[in-house]
Each structure stands twice: as C-alpha cells, then as structure tokens.
Homo-oligomer: A and B are copies of this chain.
Amino acid sequence: MNSAPLGFFDSGVGGLTVVHAVQELLPAESILYLGDTARLPYGSKSPETIRQFADEDVRFLIGKGVKAIVVACNTATAHALPHLHEKYRVPILGVIEPGVEAALSSPEAERIGIIATHGTIRSHAYQHALALRKTGLMIHGQATPLLVPLIEENWIDHPATKLVLKNYLDPLVEKGIDTLMLACTHYPLLIPVLRELLPGDVRLVDSAKTCAEHLKKELTRLDLLASADREGELQLYLTDLSEEFEALARQFLKKSPGKIHRAVLGG
C-alpha cells in the first residue's frame, strides 16, 4: 500500500484522457498531472528536444513525491521512455505498449493503420512494437500533424477538419486497414467524426483504457496501490495557464479539472 500520488505528464492537456480512464478504474489513487503547455506541441520537435523536455517533466514529478509515473503522451513515450528507464528508478509506464496490446487483443487484427504526430510516426516505436508481438501484420503509419491544432481550436465538427481527416485517412482506407490506432492522446475527441468517415468494419483503438489496466497490474505487482477505502484527488499543473487550456482540460477529463496550478520547471 502506498498513498503517494501517481505522476502523469504530457505536452498539454490531451493526456487527461488517460487520467480519466485511470480515475474510473482506480478511484482511490491520487493523481498529479503536469501538462507542458508552455512548450507544446512535442509532436513536431526533434527527438533530442523531446528527451530533454521529458527529462525536466519527470524531475518535476519526482520532486513532488510521486510513487510512479505515466508518460501520457505518445511522442514522449516514443522518443524518451527508454532513456527515462535508464536514468530513473521510479516505475515509469508509457502509452505505446498498452496501445499495441489493445490493437492486438482482437485476433482478426491484420492490417493496422496508425495515426499520430510526425514525431511518433518517425520514431517507428509503434511499428516495431506491433511487429515484435505478431508476425505478418501489414502496418501503415500516417503522420496527422494538423489534428492537434484543429482539436485545440475545437473545430471538431468543422468541414475543414473532415477535409483534413479525409486526406489523411484515404490512403489507409485504400490499403484496407481493419484497425486504426489513435496514437495521440488528443485523438479520442475525434472518435465520432472518425466513425462517420471510416468504413463501419474498421476497429478504432484508443489506448487510454488499456493503459489504465496496465497501470493497475503494475501497481499491484509492486505493492504500490493506494488503500481502497479513500477517494483519490487530482492536482493539475500546467507550465502555461490560459482559459483555453482550462476549457480543453474539462473536455478531455469529462469533468471540471478543479483549480489549476502553474508549474515552473527547473532547467
């Protein structure tokens, strides 16, 4: 048993989709979330810069006394997780392994499309993880860098978003994908539009739920679960505060995020 909070970080507030899933599954856990809104996005930046940012994010969370860390950002998981594992002793989980497990949980998954930032696609982290688990898959990665800005503007139902999505999805549909992995924590907000634009038999995989299940298993294994007789709290830290981020946080979390604190990262 351990009542210290779990630490989560992401480039912005998208990672709150993972927090939401964890709160549903593990309501006793307290959560400390860091969104690096001052430096977002991570997805268009270089591996070196993302590793440096992730390192500063982890140090902030460790400084707050967290018992384990979830990298609730696909780009940071893709580029920084191995480096973080080497450097820190605190348990650190990413979103890629859970996503891959969710995608392959259906034995019919044979032709897998992945949509994600430039950084995640370029890292080949998903492609490698999928290929390691199952041979003979057809895997198609598609960088979809305009989706985050469109979501952040709340243009989710806008004709321009549908046009951009069609442009990104058409090559995947032509390749006959049976599974589409939403490999960015922002993308769950697009699920209704994706359902509208994709053939009905394409399965959408969002890793938030599987990530929460992974976390539960790990916390149990390491004897780090909080006592079940209490209710966990959420503390939200952002490196830049604004009304827009607050409104987005509510959307991703599906409830009020409470008071938001400004985080200052030590260089």
Binding site for B on A (CB under 8 A): 37-39, 44-46, 48-49, 53, 118, 145-146, 149-150, 152-153, 155, 158-160, 163-164, 167, 239-242, 244, 267
Contact = CB atoms under 8 A, between A and B. Distances in A.
Contacts of A146: 146, 149-150, 153, 155, 160
Contact of A163 (B38, B39, B45, B160): B160
A45 B240 contact: yes
B241 A46 contact: yes
A70 to B, nearest CB: 24
Chain A contact residues: over half helix, strand or loop, or mixed?
A: loop
A48 B145 CA distance: 27
Nearest to A118: B244
Given A46-B242, A240-B49, A153 B145 contact: yes
A60 to B, nearest CB: 14
Nearest to A145: B153
A163 B153 contact: no
B37 A45 contact: yes
A160 B153 contact: no
A49 B267 CA distance: 15
Contacts of A163: 159-160, 163
Contact of A244 (B37, B44, B242): B44
Given A44-B242, A146-B160, 13 more contacts: A37-B45, A38-B53, A46-B241, A49-B240, A146-B146, A146-B149, A146-B150, A149-B149, A158-B167, A159-B163, A160-B160, A160-B164, A163-B163
Given A38-B49, A46-B240, A160 B167 contact: yes
Nearest to A147: B149
Contact of A38 (B39, B149, B160, B244): B39
A195 B37 CA distance: 35
Contacts of A240: 45-46, 48-49
Nearest to A149: B149
Contacts of A155: 146
11 contacts: A38-B53, A45-B242, A46-B240, A46-B242, A145-B149, A145-B153, A146-B149, A146-B153, A149-B149, A160-B160, A160-B164
